[in-house]
Chain A
Amino acid sequence: MASFYGFEPKSRLFLGTAQYPSPAILAEAVKASGVEIVTVSLRREAGEGGAGQAFWSLIRDLGVRVLPNTAGCHGVKEAVTTAQMAREVFGTNWIKLEVIGEDDTLQPDVVGLIEAARILTNDGFEVFPYTTEDLVVGGRLLDAGCEVLMPWGAPIGSGRGLNNVYGLRSMRAHFPGIPLVVDAGIGLPSHAAQAMELGYDAILLNTAVAKAGDPVRMAQAFAQAIEAGRDAFEAQPIEARDMAAPSTPVMGKAFLS
Chain B
Amino acid sequence: MTLLLNGEPREVAATTLDQALAELGYAGKVVATAVNGDFVPARKRETVTLAEGDRIEVVAPMQGG
Instruction: List the A residue with the shortest CB-CB distance to B29.
Output: A53
Which listed residue (A52, A77, A84) contacts B62, Cβ 8 A? A52
Contact assessment for A42 and B63 in the assembled complex, using a CB-CB cutoff below 8 Å: no
CA distance A48 to B21 in the complex (A): 11
Interface residue count for B (Cβ, 8 Å)? 27
Q: Which of A11-19, A219-227, A230-238, A241-249 contacts B (4 or more CB under 8 A)?
A: A11-19
Within 8 Å CB of A84, what residues of B?
A: 32, 39, 41
**Does more than half of chain A's interface fall in helix, strand or loop, or is it mixed?**
mixed
**Complex: how many Å from CA A144 to CA B9?**
40
Closest to A50 in B: B29
How many cross-chain pairs have Cβ atoms below 8 Å apart between A and B? 110
Q: Decide: A59 near B61, CB < 8 A? Known: A77-B37, A85-B33, A89-B32.
A: yes
Q: Are B30 and A53 in contact (CB under 8 A)?
A: yes
Q: Which residues of A contact B1 (CB under 8 A)?
A: none
Give the residue name and chain of the A residue nearest to B31 (CB).
Answer: A45
Instruction: Provide the residues of chain A in CB contact with B58, threshold 8 Å.
Output: 44-45, 47
**CB nearest neighbor in B for A26:** B63
| Contact among A59, A85, A90, A156 with B39 in the assembled complex (CB-CB below 8 Å) | A85
A51 within 8 A of B: yes
| Residues in B1-31 with C-beta less than 8 Å from chain A | 5-7, 21, 24-26, 29-31
Chain A residues, CB < 8 A from B37: 77, 81
- Could you tell me if A85 and B65 are in contact, using CB atoms closer than 8 angstroms? no
Contact B24 A47, beta carbon cutoff 8 Å: yes
Closest CB of chain B to A241's CB: distance in Å? Answer: 39
Is A10 an interface residue, CB under 8 A from the partner?
A: no
A30 touches B (CB below 8 Å): no
Residue of A nearest to B10 (CB): A47
Contact of B32 among A17, A88, A157 (CB under 8 A): A88
**Alpha-carbon distance between A42 and B37 when the two chains are bound, in angstroms:** 15
Q: How far is the CA of A178 from the CA of B52 in the complex (A)?
A: 49
| B54 interface residue per 8 A CB criterion | no
Task: Report the minimum CB–CB distance from B52 to chain A (whole Å).
Answer: 20
Q: Are A39 and B30 in contact (CB under 8 A)?
A: no
Residues of B within 8 A of A42 (CB): 32, 59-62, 64
**What are 8 inter-chain pairs, A to B, with CB distance below 8 A?**
A44-B6, A47-B26, A51-B60, A52-B60, A53-B61, A55-B62, A88-B39, A206-B65
Contact surface of B with A, Cβ cutoff 8 Å: 5-7, 21, 24-26, 29-34, 37-39, 41-42, 57-65
Closest 9 CB pairs of A and B: A52-B60, A41-B64, A47-B25, A16-B65, A206-B65, A85-B32, A45-B60, A56-B61, A43-B62
